[in-house]
Chains A and B, each alone.
Chain A
């Protein structure tokens, strides 16, 4: 009954979405405020309906309603509660419903918090949101309906894929989708601006918080996914250049570019056309990401060909929104008037450079991800893997990173490159010193690592150069300097933090890639092996059991200089419902580094086990850096300037003048 109620609510939501897509636009062209006023009501109604549908599905999972096909395929009555809930979106149908839910949340948020948006803009933005909702709800109801019943329900479900039974999975997709779908707002604003043929700094001010929020979530989602792969898949890697990962990296790269170009647009009214294009591209890549992961085209082009209903539907959505968006852009971009001029060497110029590198990097990832699919569609076979991406992406992104500390030190309109470089000499000296130290300590074999450390430190320390120069500690003294610092806008600190986070992540990547110690060997209980600075003793193996699995846990004691430092317990599990084995890595964090152990199969001698051990120096910085980036983003978001309600002095002055 409750399930049918949810199913019905979902169909109603589609009907409401259709109304939301059509009526406000008609209202805009007829200058009819009543029709335009439908938009906010429709989007809040839509949220309510999708929440009902989502809750109904969650309820079916909670009570293990095995008359629902989706629950049978992805749940089990003995599954822990948290995974019963996360199982709702741990499958195709449910995850699409989550997508629609988040879309509805964002749409309703625009309706509720966009109080001071011009009515026409608000109506058009929500109408575009309505188009997206219509497409996705129709997709769910026709090809991926989670509410399908079974005539003869089985007694027990087939359980969720054990690899996905993890707290990481509970959080990762919602975060990623919040990021993907967040860009739909930027897209909707861009399309609305193109329809109206009007765009100004206020537009950028309205769009920027949404882009920033989406970017924070996407950063969180990617970092979370990376850490999940790191500890769950048991290879000790943190980024595999898997198409699924690339799918989330591309919108992140373009979204980062969008974030920066929106700043230029807000402050200087320049780069309008470019910003609109980036907004369209960021969401297009989010859609593409969803398509790549959801259509099954990645596992095999042939799987896509044998059951094309879903794939073709998503392909149609893609063509409609990407093609339509770009076509509208091509036709209407000319109507957007260009704003502020600037010299090539200026803050704007630096941000343009950032945009160029980020979009080229996104383009490289895009082609590298798609070309194997295209080649295989024509019957060929080619692989584009981590070695290619590392070789190509590394220098491109490295070049971007070199400019990062410089940008904030350049003035708007016309900057002084020499002056900016002069202010960075101390940062450069620190970076060079560290690079030299690394090179000296490790010899010529690690030259690349030395350069990497140098760049990371350059970005990390250089991130604070702007704050340092604006506080003017040296001229004004500590007290005045701190007062100045306190008076700086939060976005200045946000920029510094986000850039510093980038430096931290790079530091973690370089350090782990260049200096991890590895040991792969067969061990018997009682054996001792050396990994980096540690000597590790294999104490023994014991049996264990969880709610829905049985496991073997090995105990290993790591000693340094004879004293016990820590114990790690890697294990292998057998999930009983699917009879599927998994490897659970034993991970121990010491300082910012981690010790990582996985168990393999049986060794050649009876009683021995293959053990893989790594000591990964500074590895946690990879994800801590992402956290710092997010904190920077959040700080910028809290900036008073960005609070959409905050009136600007200019706008406050205007009515006073007319009153006179």
Chain B
């Protein structure tokens, strides 16, 4: 059979375990879905910026199994995360929690927007306040209005 040597080579090539192996899956689709979602937000600690869901590494596989074990044991999503943070530190969370440096990260976009908004407000206030001399006096306004009306009427003549 030609297939056998081919598969043997594949086995040699395979080396690392593949991401989200079907064998790891939980029987209950709802639980499995939760496990996938948690896995996507956990870092494979030995990889470069890969979630354990996408990683081929052995460690990622171990973590995937732990996540599923905890879920099967009835842990809530947060409890699963806490369990892993206790063992591997905050580093394992790809979505940093909102305390400490994490608070800074989550507050940052709003803070930047506020600063930008305040800057814009000040800039506009300063610029509209400045050129009093350039603004039209009441007489000029009236003259302009008359001109404008004149212009509107012209097509009728």
* Interface residue ranges, A against B (CB under 8 Å): 235, 237, 240-243, 298-299, 338, 341, 344, 352, 356, 359-360, 363-364, 367-368, 371, 375, 380-388, 391-392, 396, 520-522, 525, 540-543, 550, 552, 572-574, 581, 599-604, 607, 609-610, 612
CB distance from B42 to the nearest CB of A (A): 9
The CA of A344 and the CA of B123, in the complex, are separated in Å by 11
| CB-contacts of B5-47 with A (<8 A) | 5-7, 9-23, 40-41, 43
For the complex formed, measure the closest distance between the CB of A250 and the CB atoms of chain B, giving whole angstroms.
Answer: 14
The list of the 6 closest CB pairs from A to B, nearest first, reads A385-B94, A600-B18, A601-B14, A387-B95, A381-B91, A360-B112
**Residue among A242, A352, A360, A541 making CB contact with B10, cutoff 8 Å:** A541
Binding site for A on B (CB under 8 A): 2-3, 5-7, 9-23, 40-41, 43, 48-51, 54, 89-96, 101-102, 104-106, 108-109, 112-113, 116-117, 120, 124, 127-128, 131
Contacting residue for A368 out of B23, B51, B105, CB 8 A: B105
Q: List 19 A-B contacts (CB under 8 A).
A: A298-B48, A341-B131, A344-B124, A360-B109, A381-B89, A381-B91, A384-B105, A385-B41, A385-B43, A520-B20, A520-B22, A541-B3, A543-B9, A552-B9, A602-B7, A602-B10, A603-B23, A607-B3, A612-B19
Inter-chain CA distance A581–B7, complex, in Å, is 15
Pick the contact of B109: A364, A380, A543 (CB < 8 A): A364
- In the bound assembly, the distance between CA atoms of A387 and B37 in angstroms comes to 11
Quick one: which of A242, A356, A384 contacts B96, CB cutoff 8 A? A384
- Which of A360, A384, A601 touches B18 (beta carbons < 8 Å)? A601
Contact B116 A360 (CB under 8 A): yes
Q: Which residue of B lies closest to A374 (CB)?
A: B101
Which of B9, B95, B108 contacts A385 (CB under 8 A)?
A: B95
**Residues in B neighbouring A525, C-beta threshold 8 A:** 3
Task: Find out whether the CB atom of B14 lies under 8 angstroms from the CB atom of A602.
Answer: yes
Complex formed: what's the CA distance from A386 to B19 in Å? 18
Given A375-B101, A387-B40, A552-B6, do A359 and B116 touch, yes or no (CB 8 Å)?
Answer: yes
Contact assessment for A386 and B51 in the assembled complex, using a CB-CB cutoff below 8 Å? yes
Complex Cα distance A109/B130, Å?
42
A396 close to B109 (CB less than 8 A): yes
Chain A min CB distance to B10 (Å): 5
- Whether B17 lies near A356 (C-beta < 8 A) is no
**Closest chain A CB from B31 CB (angstroms):** 16
Q: Is there an interface contact between A572 and B14, defined as CB atoms closer than 8 Å?
A: yes
Question: Which of B10, B48, B89 contacts A552 (CB under 8 A)?
Answer: B10
Contacts of B120 in A (CB 8 A): 352, 356
- Residue contact A388 to B21, C-beta cutoff 8 Å: no
Could you tell me the distance between the alpha carbons of A601 and B17 in the complex, rounded to whole angstroms?
6
CB pair A574–B13 under 8 Å, yes or no, is yes
Chain B: minimal CB distance from A272 (Å): 13
A299 — which chain B residues lie within 8 A by C-beta?
48
Q: Are A383 and B3 in contact (CB under 8 A)?
A: no
- Chain B, residue nearest A362 (CB): B112
From B13, B21, B94, B113, contact of A383 by CB (8 A): B94
B48 touches A242 (CB 8 A): yes
| Nearest CB of A to B80, in Å | 15
Is A572 touching B91 in the complex (CB atoms < 8 A)?
Answer: no
Which A residues lie within 8 Å of B113 (CB)? 356, 360
Cβ of B49: which chain A residues have Cβ within 8 Å of it? 240-243, 385
B126 to chain A, nearest CB (A): 10
B101 contacts across to A, CB distance below 8 A: 371, 375, 380, 382
Cα–Cα distance between A355 and B19 once the two chains are bound (Å): 40
Report the separation of the CA atoms of residues A240 and B51 in the bound assembly, to the nearest whole angstrom: 10
- Shortest Cβ gap from B65 to chain A (Å): 15
Return chain A residues, CB-CB under 8 Å to B7.
541, 602, 607, 609
Provide the bound-state CA to CA distance between A543 and B2, in Å: 9
Closest A residue to B102 by CB, please name it.
Answer: A382
Residue among B11, B116, B128 making CB contact with A356, cutoff 8 Å: B116
Q: How far is the CA of A108 from the CA of B142 in the complex (A)?
A: 57
CB distance from A149 to the nearest CB of B (A): 33
A441 to B107 CA separation, bound complex (whole angstroms): 36
In angstroms, Cα B11 to Cα A520, docked, is 18
- Contact flag A381-B41 (CB < 8 Å), given A363-B108, A540-B3, A552-B10: no
Distance in Å from the Cβ of B75 to the closest Cβ of chain A? 20
Q: Tell me the bound Cα distance from A371 to B113 in angstroms.
A: 19
Q: Is the CB of B54 within 8 A of A237?
A: yes
A-chain residues with CB within 8 Å of residue B5 when the two chains form the complex: 543
> Cα distance A364–B12 when bound, in Å?
44
Contact at B16–A383, with CB atoms within 8 Å? no
A249 CB to closest chain B CB (Å) equals: 14
Which of B10, B89, B101, B108 gathers most chain A CB within 10 Å?
B10
Across the interface, which residues of B come within 8 angstroms of A364, CB to CB?
108-109, 112
- Cβ contacts under 8 Å, B54 to chain A: 235, 237
Contact indicator B102/A600 (Cβ below 8 Å)? no
**Contacts A341-B131, A359-B116, A388-B96 given: A522-B108 contact, CB under 8 Å?**
no
Shortest CB-to-CB span from B107 to chain A, Å, is 10
With A382-B102, A541-B10, A610-B22 in contact, do A341 and B94 touch (Cβ < 8 Å)? no
Q: Which of B21, B51, B104, B105 contacts A600 (CB 8 A)?
A: B21
Task: Give the shortest distance, in Å, between B87 (CB) and chain A (any CB).
Answer: 13
B residues near A237, Cβ cutoff 8 Å: 54
